[in-house]
Chains A and B, each alone.
Chain A
Amino acid sequence: MVRQLSVFLPNKPGILAIFTEILGKNSINIRALTVADTADYGILRIIVDDPTKCLNVLKEANYLVSETEVIAVEVEDKPGALHQIAKLMGDNGINIEYIYSTLKAGAAVILIRVNKPEKALELLKKESFKVLGDEIYKI
Chain B
Amino acid sequence: MAKRYEYWNKEMELKNRKELDEIQTKRLRAIVKYCYEKVPFYNKRFKEIGLHPDDIKTKEDIVKIPITKKQDLRDNYPFGMFAVPLTEIVRIHASSGTTGKPTVVGYTKNDIETWTELMARTIMAPNVTKEDIVQNAYGYGLFTGGLGFHYGAERIGATVIPISGGNTERQILIMQDFKSTVLTCTPSYSLFIAEYMKNQDIDIESLSLRVGIFGAEPWSDSLRKKIEDALHIDAIDIYGLSELCGPGVSVECPEKAGLHIWEDHFIPEIINPETSEQLGEDEQGALVFTTLTKEGIPLLRYLTNDISILNYEKCNCGRWHARMKKVIGRADDMLIVRGINVFPSEVEYQLMKIPGVSENYQIIVDRDILDILTIRVEVTPEYFSDKISDMEALKDKIEKHLKANLQIHANVEFAAPGSIERSIGKAKRVIDLRKDKI
B312 at the interface (CB under 8 A from A): no
A36 touches B385 (CB 8 A): no
Q: CA of A73 to CA of B386 in the docked complex: distance in angstroms?
A: 20
List residues of chain B with CB within 8 A of the CB of A40: 413-414
CB of B392 within 8 A of CB of A8, answer no
Within 8 A of A (CB), among B363-397: 379, 381, 384-389, 391-392
Q: Are A6 and B386 in contact (CB under 8 A)?
A: yes
Are A66 and B414 within 8 A (Cβ)?
no
Q: How large is the interface on A (under 10, 10 to 19, 20 to 34, 35 or more residues)?
A: 20 to 34
A8 and B384 form a contact (CB under 8 A): yes
Q: Is the CB of A64 within 8 A of B384?
A: yes
Q: Do B388 and A43 touch (CB < 8 A)?
A: yes
Question: Is B199 part of the contact surface with A, judged by Cβ < 8 Å?
Answer: yes
Nearest-CB distance from B155 to chain A (Å)? 43
Q: Does residue B415 face the partner (Cβ distance < 8 Å to A)?
A: yes
Q: Give the interface segment out of B2-10, B128-136, B416-424.
A: B416-424
Which B residues touch A15, using CB under 8 A? 416
Q: Are B379 and A8 in contact (CB under 8 A)?
A: yes
Tell me if A41 is interfacial: C-beta within 8 Å of chain B: yes
The answer, yes or no, to whether A31 is at the interface (CB within 8 Å) is no
Whether B387 and A62, one on each chain, are in contact in the complex, defined by CB atoms closer than 8 angstroms, is no
With A8-B379, A43-B391, A62-B199 already in contact, the answer to whether A68 and B417 are too (CB < 8 A) is no
Known A8-B379, A38-B392: A63·B417 in contact at CB below 8 Å: yes
Contact of B386 (CB < 8 Å), options: A38, A41, A66: A66
* Chain A residues closer than 8 Å to B392, beta-carbon distance: 38
Closest to B374 in A: A40
CA distance A6 to B415 in the complex (A): 15
Contact call A97/B387, Cβ cutoff below 8 A: yes
Find out whether the CB atom of B387 lies under 8 angstroms from the CB atom of A98: yes
A-side contacts of B417, CB under 8 Å: 8, 62-64
Complex interface residues of chain A between 1 and 33 (CB less than 8 A to chain B): 4, 6, 8-10, 15
B416, A8: Cβ atoms under 8 Å?
A: yes
> Does B387 contact A9, Cβ atoms closer than 8 Å?
no
Q: Which of A58-113 contact B (CB under 8 A)?
A: 62-66, 68, 97-98, 113
CB distance from B395 to the nearest CB of A (A): 9
Residues of B within 8 A of A62 (CB): 199, 417-418
Bound Cα distance from A82 to B416, whole angstroms: 35
Contact B388 A38 (CB under 8 A): yes
Contacts of A9 in B (CB 8 A): 416
Contacts of B391 in A (CB 8 A): 38, 41, 43
B379 neighbours in A (Cβ, 8 Å): 8, 64
Contacts of A68 in B (CB 8 A): 386
CA distance A113 to B388 in the complex (A): 12
Nearest A residue (CB) for B413 = A40
The answer on a CB contact under 8 Å between B381 and A64 is yes
In Å, the complex CA distance between A43 and B415 comes to 12
Whether the Cβ atoms of B381 and A43 lie closer than 8 Å is no
- Chain A residue nearest in CB terms to B391: A43
Residue of A nearest to B376 (CB): A40
| Residue numbers in B under 8 Å from A10 (CB-CB) | 415-416, 419
Q: Say whether B381 contacts A66, CB under 8 Å.
A: yes
CB distance from A93 to the nearest CB of B (A): 18
Check B386–A43 contact: CB distance below 8 A: yes
Q: Which residues of A contact B413 (CB under 8 A)?
A: 40-41
Q: Which B residues are in CB contact (< 8 Å) with A97?
A: 387, 389
Give the CA-CA distance A81 to B212 in the complex, in Å.
63
B residues near A98, Cβ cutoff 8 Å? 387
8 further A-B pairs in the complex, CB-CB below 8 A; given A4-B386, A64-B379: A10-B415, A10-B419, A40-B413, A63-B417, A64-B384, A64-B416, A65-B384, A113-B386
Some 24 contacts from A to B, beta carbons below 8 A apart, are A4-B386, A8-B379, A8-B416, A8-B417, A9-B416, A10-B415, A38-B391, A40-B413, A41-B413, A41-B414, A43-B386, A43-B388, A43-B391, A45-B386, A62-B199, A63-B417, A64-B381, A64-B384, A64-B416, A65-B381, A65-B384, A66-B385, A66-B386, A68-B386
- 7 pairs of A and B residues whose beta carbons are closest in the complex: A6-B386, A40-B413, A68-B386, A36-B388, A64-B384, A62-B418, A10-B416
